[in-house]
Amino acid sequence: MPTLRSTDAEIIERLAIGDSLVVVAPPGSSVRVYHRPDQNPDSTVTGATTTFGPYPTTKTLHMKCTAGAVSFTVPTQPPTEPPAFVISSSAPSNADGRPDGTIYIQTA
Q: Tell me which of 71 and 40 has the higher pLDDT.
A: 71
**DSSP designation for 102:** -
* pLDDT bracket for residue 78 (50, 70, 90): low
Q: Which residues of 25-58 are buried (b: 16+ CB within 10 A; e: fewer)?
A: beeebbbebbbeeeeeeebebbeeebebbebeee
Please tell me the predicted confidence (pLDDT) of residue 62: 93
> pTM value?
0.66
DSSP state letters, 26-90:
-TT-EEEEEETTT--SEEEEESSEEEE---SS-EEEEEEEEESEEEEPPPSS----PPPEEE-S-
Please tell me the predicted confidence (pLDDT) of residue 7: 94
Which pLDDT tens digit goes with each residue over 9-68?
Answer: 999 998 888 889 999 999 999 999 998 777 678 899 999 999 998 888 888 999 999 999
